[in-house]
Structure 1
Amino acid sequence: MESELEQIREQQRASWNKFSPGWKKWDDLMMDFLRPMGNEIIQSLQLKETDHVLDIAAGTGEPGLTIAALVGKGKVVITDLSEDMLDIAKENALHKGINNIETLACDVCELPFPDDRFDAISCRFGFMFFPDMLLAAKEMARVLKPGGRIATSVWNVPEKNFWVTAIMSTINRNMELPPPPPGSPGMFRCAQDQFIADLFVQAGLKNVTQKEVLSQLKTQTTEVYWTMMTEVAAPFVAALSKADDATKEKIKTEVFQAVKDKFPDGNVHIDASALVISGEK
């Protein structure tokens, strides 16, 4: 089992490193899209100016960089599996003039910190990719100080996230891909109501709450939507790489039509829904 988890971890590290140029290219658009979830996480953490905060699965740096600006006398440790994503986070910190951060490439299931180290922990859209989600939650709880808070976000059900399903359902309709093993990492792995809340309770957290947060992916045009999604979303790229040219073109045409049907005025602002879950040690 351990070797299987290690294999998933290494595949994910390689994938995020590979797709880091796409995330850098589309960072402004994606961060605008994900900001409402990050803001809700920050609000849930009830931060103080002197707090030491851990941001897990931070990618290009958020919400860790926003948190760092709020805890001016504290510090934020920004972590991710991908060294290349963290390089972008460091660049973003430099551009924003934020210097009370450090970055560290590490695995959430083996956090290299002592017990009771951090005042707060944030994790925006990481849980659905963790090989062992309960172990990850327990590790977060371990390094959190008593009385400290954890907040995370995960995607809500597919029906509320057309920005994913527009492409995913079209790929599935046109290609006979084997279904992933039950419980394997994926976008909607944590979408079930109270799933992460129950995980937090199992990890020993208390006062656990869940809240729905809405956002919009404002790509403006279908072309921008398609280009961005096929440059940042590893599952879509992996699936399309298995299709011949005719099938790829058919999928693209059908996705464009689906988006056009949804936004006949051509102004593509796609609704999204996430769940933000918080708890206290």
Structure 2
Amino acid sequence: MASTKDFDFDRLAAAYDQVLPLTAPVTARMLELTTGIAAGTSVLDIACGTGEPGLTIAASHPGVRLRGVDRAETMISVARRKAEQRGLEAGYEVMDSEALAVADDDADVVVSRFGLLSFGDSAAEAREVARVLRPGGTFTIATWDATSKNTLTFVMASAVHDLLPPPLHAAMRRQEQLAMPGRREAWLTAAGLSGVTSELFAWDVEFPDGDSLWELATGPAMLGAVLGGLGEEQLASARVEFDRLLADYRRADGSYSLPYACRIISGSGRL
């Protein structure tokens, strides 16, 4: 079973922000669903990557006490630098989401975007959310649903399917298993969290042309790390299949509008 230990998130950190614009609508929707944020609120952003959604919360809610944690040291370094550059008060620490070095009932609000419930021991992560969230506090977690709803990555992976290393095949299978209806919600409820609800949130991502799609898909923020050894003929063949799979999303002017969707799960701390 693939886990966070199978992937080098430190290596990914430098390129990670390239994909943030694709998922900005998810952050906006998370903020709509996250209640109870005010000056003095303790916000814990678990598996925060390079700082989202915590930094957006801190910018839009002055006075919150933001703490971000992630197992990748380089991700934390980037998040810390971004907070300093934006003049935001935030504390960042390297930490495993399956065993948080956080006191019980420490957070008023827990958030996570595309980190929790996606890679490692999801049931353990759910228990940690329940443990660190104070009774009556709130949580909002965004996670990918079926892999095909992560449109660009899915199309690229399909185009080079036979060339992908075993850990990536395992990760894609695991995403499908995690997306089975109600599994994540059941883990959170079993952990003691209350009022657990979820929604399939959909949005569109715009690209000016096919070349910009291909550049991002084959770059370091997506599958570039595993495509570096491909020859020109293999890449050319992959590009043909890539364009074929995306043809239905191509507009008359050559631009593209790709549908995306993810699962957003929210609720409250244990009663």
Same fold (TM over 0.5): yes
Which residue does the alignment assign to 2:104?
115
Name which of structure 1's ranges 104-113 and 125-134 shifts more when overlaid on structure 2.
125-134
* Cα 1:189–1:66 shift into 2, 3 Å: farther
* Cα 1:232–1:119 shift into 2, 3 Å: farther
Structure 2 runs not aligned, ≥5 long:
none
In 2, Cα distance between the equivalents of 1:59 and 1:134?
20
Deviation of the 1:222 alpha carbon: 1.8
In 2, Cα distance between the equivalents of 1:256 and 1:181?
22
The one of 262, 271, 275 equivalent to 2:249 is: 262
Which residue does the alignment assign to 2:181?
193
Name which of structure 1's ranges 120-129 and 144-153 shifts more when overlaid on structure 2.
120-129
Residues 49 and 71 in structure 1, CA contact (< 8 A), matched pair in contact too:
yes
Structure number with the higher helix fraction is 1
Identity of aligned residues (%): 24
Which residue does the alignment assign to 2:33?
44
Name which of structure 1's ranges 41-50 and 195-204 shifts more when overlaid on structure 2.
41-50
Deviation of the 1:110 alpha carbon: 1.2
Mapping for residues 16-95 of structure 1, pairs under 5 Å: 16-24=9-17, 26=18, 30-46=19-35, 47-95=37-85
In 2, Cα distance between the equivalents of 1:63 and 1:185?
26
Deviation of the 1:241 alpha carbon: 4.6
The one of 106, 118, 134 equivalent to 2:123 is: 134
AA of the residue aligned to 1:87: S
Residues 198 and 263 in structure 2, CA contact (< 8 A), matched pair in contact too:
yes
The one of 143, 148, 151 equivalent to 1:162 is: 151
AA of the residue aligned to 2:159: T
Which residue does the alignment assign to 1:252?
239
In 1, Cα distance between the equivalents of 2:155 and 2:70?
28
Mapping for residues 8-19 of structure 1, pairs under 5 Å: 8-12=3-7, 15-19=8-12
- Cα RMSD of the aligned pairs, angstroms, is 2.7
Which residue does the alignment assign to 1:272?
260
AA of the residue aligned to 1:277: I
Deviation of the 1:252 alpha carbon: 2.1
TM-score (norm 1): 0.84
Deviation of the 1:128 alpha carbon: 4.6
Residues 97 and 116 in structure 2, CA contact (< 8 A), matched pair in contact too:
no
Residues 80 and 107 in structure 1, CA contact (< 8 A), matched pair in contact too:
yes
Structure 1 runs not aligned, ≥5 long:
none
TM-score (norm 2): 0.86
Name which of structure 1's ranges 190-199 and 257-266 shifts more when overlaid on structure 2.
257-266
